[in-house]
Structure formats: C-alpha cells, structure tokens
Amino acid sequence: MAYEILLLAVSALQRNALRSALAALGIVIGVSAVVAMVTIGRGSNAKVKEQIDQLGMQLLTLRVGQDTRGGKGAQIEAKPFTRADVEAIRLFRRELQVVAPVASQPARVVLRQANWVADITGADNDFFVAKQWSLAAGRHFSGHEMQAGKNVCIVGATIHQRLAGGGTAVGETIRVRMLPCEVIGVLRKRGQSGLSQDDDNIVVMPLAGYQRTIQGNVDIQSVIVLVRHGVDPSGMKKRIEELMRERRGIAAGQADNFHVLEMRQVAEAMASTSRTLTALLTAIAAISLLVGGVGIMNIMLVSVADRTAETGIRLAIGALPSQIKAEVLAEGVLLAVGGGLAGIVAGLILAAVVCFWLQTPLVVDPATVVIAVAASCAIGILFGYMPAARAAQLGPIEALSRE
C-alpha cells in the first residue's frame, strides 16, 4: 500500500513538473543557505582557532597609552618605555620565558625596481620566540649584530614576495628609507591575523640599530612577554601592571598611561564574536526554510483544488479518505526531501567557493547534513498536512459537484 501511494505521489508531481520544481525551490534555497552558513561558520571558527594558536595563550603585550579597544577610553600622551623598564620586568625570570622590547613604524622598503610600504620593527631574537615565528629561509640575528645594531634584517613573507617575486631576497641589500640593510632571513607565512591587516608585511631589524638609524631615539613602544606554561597569565598581568604603576609614578586613583593586553582575553572575544555571527546568519537563513514550507503548502492547496474531480472519482470507486490524505502528504514530503537534498549539494558547493575565497578551511559537519534532511521531512509533513487533510475531507458527490 505504501509503495502504491508513493508511486501515485510521484506520478502527480511529474504531471506538473514545473510547478513541483518551483514549489521545491524555496526548500532548496533555504536548506542551501543554512548548510552554507553553518559550514562557512565552522570554517571561520577553525580559522579563528588557528589565529588564536598563533597569538599564544601565554602571551602578554605591554603598550604605551590607555586601552582603546571597543571605543572605551581615549588615547592619552604617555612617555615610552625604557630599557630599565624591560630589565625590571625580566626580574620575574622564574615566571617568564622571554621578554622582548619592540619599537616600530611604517616605512618604504626598496629592492631594485620593487618597493613597498612595510611595518619596520626593531626587536631581538626573543621577539620570534614570543611570537612562535620560525624562519622559512636564512638565519636569526647573531649576538654581535644585536649588540652592535648592525644593518641587517629579517623580512616577512609579504615583503619577500613584493620585493623578490619568485626569487630569493636572502643575501640581497634592500633600502629601508635611505638605509641599506642586508636581508639575512625570511619568516614563514602567517597570513592575516585578528589583530592586524597582514602579519607578514614586516621587516625586523636589531633593536639597537633600528633605534639609532630609523627611530632616532631609544624609546620602546611595547614589550612582548611570554609567560611560562603553568603560570597564570592573568596573575602575571596584574603583577606587571603594579610594577609599571610604581615605575611610572602613577598614584592611586590616577588612570594608567599604559595597558597590558592579554591574548587569552582577545582570543575568547574573537571566538565568541565568530560564534555569535555564525548563529545569527544561520537563524536568518533558517527563516527561508519556513518561507519554502509555506510555498509548498500553497502549491499543494492549488494542486488539490485542480484535482477535485479526480479525487471525487477515486472516492466514488472505493478509495478511502485516508489513502487520499496519505498521497497528498507524500507529495509534500517528496517535494521537501527532494528540495532538501538538492539544497545540501548547493549549500556545500557555495560553502566551498566562499571558503576558498576567504582562505578558510572547509569543515563539513555530517550532523548538519542529517539535520537538514530531517528538517526537510518535518517541513514536508508540517506544511503538507493541511492540503492533505482538505483533500481527505472531500466527499465524492461534493467533489464531483464542485467540478
């Protein structure tokens, strides 16, 4: 009996193929939107996790000025950090792995006919340790180069590509502003992070040389601190804040003219934002599923009205109302499930294209596919029930008289 009802439902849908396809189109759009949004969201979450791993959960960054993230506070003039401040932080040697003073500013770099504006950074080898940033080619600074401030540099992947193209810049002499600087290393590509436009758009020089030739003073703008594993970064953050308030002569009740950025807090905020955005987009996409269900119900009501005479004849020759109801309901379910399967394929293709464009991993969740199919079945039953019930309520005489 179920097989016969299924065959009748398929036959009815084939008689009006265009109308059936248009009815299923709403489900295709709805399911594809949901599947695409969830898949893209998972890929974005994976990308955020990768960026978080690059930031490092044990990383603290001490910066001059107030924290203006989220629009809170206003940037105030504050004196830069000094070498003495860095050495004072290094006294926490039992809790800290490395302490890296950093100074930076943008400048144009030139190699032969190629030129590009880069973030010129003065630092030492501890900078690479704190950032967990390895070399793709070349070497790190030697002790003599850091101490004497030699004109050598290590460039990021973006700068290497812009200046050297398909070749290698290691061993070449580039000009930073008007200063000749030998490239001794190339950093591994990291890509765009959650905190900057492009991490790889960087040229790192020994801090002493940068301060003497580029900056013109011994100011330090920030200090990157890598806390040892097993030590609470939040507790270490408070200790550094207390130390800096004391060293910078900030009295009780006065606002700090510096701030310590804890990467764990940044990571949690990034992950939370990504999850919220994914949930919002998925909820918006799910609305189209309801619209698709309403479309199926409308088409099925029209279909039942068009087949009034046929329904009356079948009832007159012995068909049961429950059989009529089951057939119409089967039509709705077939439309919804067919549209759902097509929507899954379309959604995965769309997600693959978007993930490729955004350079995020394609993460397909089998549970999403199963839920999409289940949702399609539920929509077919929910929105197909009213037309099916209306068809089953027709009596043979009433149906024939209407026609």
Q: What is the pLDDT of residue 73?
A: 46
Query: How far is it, in rounded angstroms, from Cα 32 to Cα 347?
Result: 4
Is 50 exceeded by the pLDDT of residue 74? no
Return the pLDDT at 294. 76
The amino acid present at 346, given as its one-letter code, is A
Calpha distance 260→342 (Å, rounded): 51
DSSP E strands in 135-178: the ranges are 135-138, 152-155, 173-176
The total of other beta-carbon atoms located within 10 Å of residue 367's CB is: 8
Mean pLDDT of 259-264: 81
Given this model, what pLDDT does residue 313 score? 67
Between 32 and 76, the more confident residue is: 32
Q: 119, 153 in Cβ contact below 8 A?
A: no
Weakest mean pLDDT among 65-74, 99-108, 191-200, 256-265: 65-74
Mean pLDDT of 173-198: 83
Determine if the pTM surpasses 0.75: no
CA 126 distance to own-chain centroid: 29
